[in-house]
Chains A and B, each alone.
Chain A
Amino acid sequence: MSLMKRMKSLAYSQKLAPFVFISPFIIVFLLFFIYPVISTVIMSFQRVLPGQTEFIGFTNFKNLFNGDFYKAVTNSVIYTVITIAVLIPVPLILAVFLDSRMMVFKNFFRSVFFIPALVSIVVAGFTFRLIFGEMPTALLNSILANFGIEATKWLGGAAQWTTFLALLLLCCWRWTGVNILYYLSGLQSIPGELYESAAIDGADAFQRLRHITVPLLRPVTIYILTISIYGGMSMFLESFMLFAGNRSPGGSGLTIIGYLYRHGWEQANIGYGSAIGLVMLIVTLGVNVIQLKASGMFKKEG
């Protein structure tokens, strides 16, 4: 009884309270993150079969040097680079327009662009699959027919760019509105006097955009860049839904996570899947450290 009492008063002490508060995080972090990471490291050096596991050294990592994995990495990198090239400047310009004094119905347009972000990837993915259908009556082909363009097999056709175009449009459709909101909130913090004095000095609209808006929105841009790298490199479900499974013709929609899913799940090659996961974990950690350093996160927290 007295032990219980002492335990209770200890838990209620001001010194221990913070650890009680953050204990759920510590437990979840150790059990559902650190433990799986350690398992990943161990299994990546093993051949894991039901009932027997065998240490095979670096074999799993050596096996990574193959055409399919290169294809997956190339696809993920190209996808990330293009989404960043589109999803930073376009939302920036649209946000500046939406914020301008000449714009009407601002709230209406802001909401409309945001709505696609509410839809699950399952619904969005198969809607786009049907829009990009190969039949001449499918939406995109039927629209293009008005301009005399022949029906195209967009998904997994002979030319790879059509597959990529579908993936990119799906991504832009879902995220443009969210990035516009980030930029709009950034624009609210730029004092109006800056533009007025620049206008007095004779700066035109483009110069004001280039020398005031873009530099002052830099923190927002860095944030969007960070989440875009994350989202781009871990892209999988977009491709999975667009192709109704993990099998895109010729690997045109294969991504790094898709490759992990194929080997770790579909082929139950857990050791190899773990090696892929470990490599990606190290790369992601590296990118994050660079990113956080560049944006001054360490200084602020330390």
Chain B
Amino acid sequence: MPVFNQSRSRVIQFIFAGVFIAITGQLINLQLFSSKYKLAADNNAFYRKVIYPDRGIVFDRKKRGILENTISYDLVVIPSEARGTDTATLCRLLNIDTAVYKKRMRDLIFKNTSVKPSVFEALLTPEMFAKLNENMYRFPGFSLNERSVRTYPYNVGAAILGYMAEVDTGFLRRHRDDGYEMGDYFGSTGLESTYEKVLMGQRGIKRFIRDNKGRLQGSWENGAYDTAAVAGNNLYSSIDVELQQLGEKLMENKVGSIVAIDPKTGGILCMVSAPTYNPNYLTGNQRKKHLVEMLYFDPRLPLLNRTLGTFYSPGSTFKTMVGIIGMNEGVIDDQFTVSCGGAYYGCGRPMGCHAKGTFTLKPAISKSCNSYFAATYRRILENPKYPNRDSALNSFNQYAYSFGLGRRLGVDLPSEKMGNIPTPKYYHGIFGKNWQSCNIISNSIGQGEIATSLTQLANVMAIIANKGWYYTPHLIDSIEGGDQFGLLDKFRVKHKTKEIPEYIWEEVHEGMQGTMEFGTGFYAKVPGINVCGKTGTVENAYRGEKLKDHAFFGAFAPRENPRIAIAVMCENAGYGATSAAPIASLLIEKYLKDSVSGNDRKAKIEQLANMNLIPPQMKRQMVKRDSLRQAQQLAAAKKAARDTSGVEEAPEETDTDSSVTPNKPQPAKKGTKKDTANKVALLPEEQRKNNTKRKTAA
């Protein structure tokens, strides 16, 4: 019997071979042709941890750090290990109650599982850290993780240094190849934003192996494939932090701005936008609250950089340019005189004037005579050299452009505004083809359609100081380790105005020096220094309501060898000589002499700092906001007592109008007010509820 079944041995062997081949085939399929398994395995097992390098430090011109890093601590918890925690003590230290603790814990477990570490409380204050650190043994499962945050040691320069923000989807889409991830922070405004590439450094990546529950098992291949984090490069700025401090102090309780430039290099010495805020407000764990507060609830718009994010009519400071252009075009000379009897009548409607008398250019600048420059401007426009007014105005505009007006200067800060130099085409739209020089005569004294940012104005002062050239104003002089991205190249290019002979500049300098000695800037004299300056007073209105004039002052010093060119502007401060000019004079003295000397000068600082020049319309809005908020806080407090879980997101705070535009500050909406009113009206009822609740709880 066995013999005749022997062939079946072969069949069995074939079956073995067949199954073996089938298995091999599937192995080839899995191991050689399916990359997805390898990918899935890596997704399973690797935990990619991004190591954030320290961001670069920003130094001022004397190598003092004005934007540095410091260590802050996060309270981190692994919920599954936090069972034996002394919850009551922890809540007491964190100033939260148990319900909040439980809610947060629930949220963390939901978001990040209970075996992985999650941040329970981010960016602890130093006191909180100290208190927690002593008691950590009571909180198993909790730990304190350090992380690097930005700090501003001098508490100044918020508008120029900028702050960091968490990336959003829009940012990620725009910077797809730059390696940002959800949860990262990036420089959102100011220098932080402009020099993001330099400051951020190079992030390192560590690869860890993790197990099936997401717990880390140690590094992959002992870190052979890890990349080290490279710290960001430091920036050396031209800012003088003491000057900046003084500037911010002087601008307290005012709305306006200061820009001071070193005319030789174009380096910005100080740049103040008032009202400002302590930049450290936007670093800690209260960041969001402060940001919302300033962004939506402060009618003074502290986040707006008024040095280049807004533009104004430059006022009389513009007259210097009109004079220079007039001289250079040959329509006036140093002998040209205009008599002013209190107003300019050349265009029918009289244009008021501060000074009476007969003027040549120099005293006209010193005394800021409107009639003189109106006459000059008309002569420029009706210059027989040009076939018509259009081309004359074009020629005038070419001068203006070469002075850096009507164009973005290219300052190394984001959101710079262009200002406005009106073109003939623009006037065609308003007055028709045959517009007259009288139509636009306001431009001659820096009113009308001409608009410049304060940085542009300061740059004009630098050009006059340099007698015809400038470097683009900038904050950063050099980058540690070299300028790899070519960010500073444009600041090394010397820009020249149209060819203007030396004697014209001398004439204007003379006039501007006169301003300080016997003219409109007399109160701003700096003892022992020849300052050349020009005041400006700009009429303005808000929603048809005539407001106090904006005060302007532009200057440079010393005349012989200019080291600082400065422009100061105070919104609605009235006559330029009482606020803007003395501020500029103090800053010039501070910069050139390294300190302000003399008791009366020092007293002047305090006097100016205490001078409250907040425009009345803003004051009204602030009062309105404050009373609204009081009502809200009352309502929120009542609500909090009722529902502890909603403390942070009290809805009254967040559902206000978010479309507040910078130009038309608007406080909270009417709807909000109504809402609050309802809450207040409900109060007795709430209280009763609370009482009953408490009773049941007891």
Our verdict on whether A and B bind, yes or no, reads no
